[in-house]
Amino acid sequence: MNDSTPRLTRRDLLASSVVTSLGAAALGASAPAASQPIGSMPATTKELWQWFRTQPVLDLQRTYLDVATAGPTLRAAMATEYRVRDSQSLNLASFAEGQWSAESTRMATAFGGFIGCDADEVVFTRGTGEALATVANGLDLNAGDEIVTTNREHPATVSPWLLLARRRGIVVKQIDLPAPMSGPEQALGLFAGAVTDKTKAILFSHVQYADGTLMPVQELCQFARSRNLISIVDGAQAVGMLDFQLRDLGCDFYGTSFHKWLGGSNGTGMLYVRRDMLERIWPTLPRGIDASPPVITPTQSNGHIGVPAALHKLGNIVPLSWAPLRGAEVALDFQQQVLRSRIEARIRELTIYARLRLQQLPGVEVLTPNRPGLWAGILACHVPGRLASDITLGLVRGHRVFARDLQWPGKSEGAVRISLHAFNTHDEIDKLFAGLQQVLR
Ligand SMILES: Cc1ncc(COP(=O)(O)O)c(C=O)c1O
């Protein structure tokens, strides 16, 4: 591959069509954000994906197969973020609290529309970890109450619960998810078998970060509802990769990040709070709101009247995260214009191709389920007798292919994980294959 590495230049920043649409109104509630048609987007499939590849700030000299850890940021999102920061600093004197409310409402409406919930159910956070820690720390669970989860959840998601186990005696039951999972009924059976009279909530990922297993979210949430349990879903690996609407999943809480598959910048994400769950959760970072009896402070807050309900109650960070959220909004709009269904189809097609390639390598054991409906854009494999960390090192050093090695329960060598976004190519998968052939020789 002889692509040169596109870098974000000052010219990009100033010339971006999104940026110019913002102008000095960047702080104002009426700014139309990002919904400009992408003029240069090619119509034909081949050209579309070539163009798509040039949209994020990405080192094209390397084969980057690790969006599951961190996704590259879209150039237009960065440009918008820069411009909003610029405008914010310039307009400090005209800053008004009413703008917080109006802008919070506008953004919560935009993100709610994308993910499939109401503006009143959106809380902006710095990522999935913060979103789901807000749930763990805000629910009224007591000593002896149980939460059932799996042994394959991300540390950021399960740690708040493990801490609550130590601090308050909450019981965290981690069921052993098999790899590969044989079918949705296996996950359902394992959760159903672990739930007792003391269980108050279940917690699992939409897409498992370690091996890409697509969990039967709808069925698990239905099960939770039938048993009067709270369902908490980790969507870090789903938003920006899959085309879905939250209202079809039926969960109570859903946390996600905008800095992985969506193309927003680091430190952006959200928590969905089902409307009727709002009264069951306490804020852990209140910003002088909902104080009863009222707390008098030198700058009396009116509680930001007009801010959507969940943001109002759980801490309105919009004023602090305005610029990166505006950038993430551009990323969201970008996905809608390319079409989420098209992005998902491309990711799935690349993943099938990568899987077929991996299966051609003797000794490589794919850990991601094969069954339709149980996999997405992430693959994990294990090579008995070969350390995963040696394999990933060999791929980077010898082939400039960047994959991730992970620890794996019951497999001392660990596992190699690859994640494929729509900007990846079949050529890159061939590079991975050739690299693995050499490294495993
Ligand atoms: C499944 C899962 N949950 C949570 C997180 C933490 O996300 P964040 O960094 O946005 O807090 C990650 C990060 O990789 C993840 O993969």
Q: How far apart are CA 315 and CA 144, in angstroms?
A: 29
Rounded distance from Cα 363 to ligand 1 centre (Å): 30
CATH numbers and ranges of domains, the chain: 101-336 (3.40.640.10), 341-439 (3.90.1150.10)
Q: What is the DSSP letter of 214?
A: B
406 lines ligand 1 (CB under 6 A): no
Quote the ligand 1 centre to 275 CA distance (angstroms). Answer: 24
Residue 15 pLDDT > 60: no
Q: Which amino acid, one-letter code, is at 302? A: N
Identify the three-state secondary structure at position 275: helix
Which pLDDT tens digit goes with each residue over 303-333? 566 788 898 888 877 778 889 999 999 999 9
Q: How far is the CA of 292 from the centre of ligand 1 (A)?
A: 34
pLDDT of residue 95: 65
- CB of 212 closer than 6 A to ligand 1? no
User: What average pLDDT does range 273-279 have in this prediction?
Assistant: 95
Q: Does 64 have pLDDT greater than 80?
A: yes
pLDDT digits (tens, 9 = 90+) for 219-245: 999 999 999 999 999 999 999 999 999
- Torsional sign, CA 357, 363, 364, 369: positive
Q: Are strands 63-64 and 401-402 parallel, antiparallel or unpaired?
A: parallel
How far apart CA 170 and CA 383 sit, in angstroms, is 38
The mean per-residue pLDDT over the stretch 198-219 comes to 98
Buried/exposed 352-375: b ≥16 CB within 10 Å, e otherwise: ebbbebbeeeeebbbbbbeeeebb
- The predicted model gives 135-155 an average pLDDT of 97
For residue 204, how far is its CA from the centre of ligand 1 (angstroms)?
12
| Whether the CB of 110 sits within 6 Å of ligand 1 | no
Contact (Cβ atoms closer than 8 angstroms) between residue 348 and residue 376: yes
Q: Model-level pTM?
A: 0.91
209 in ligand 1 pocket by Cβ < 6 Å? yes
Cα of 233 vs centre of ligand 1, distance in Å, is 12
Measured by CA distance, the residue closest to atom 13 of ligand 1 is 69
68 Cα to the center of ligand 1, angstroms: 8
Q: Is 71 in the pocket of ligand 1 (CB under 6 A)?
A: no
Q: Tell whether ligand 1 has an atom less than 6 A from the beta carbon of residue 156.
A: yes
**Section 182-197 average pLDDT:** 97
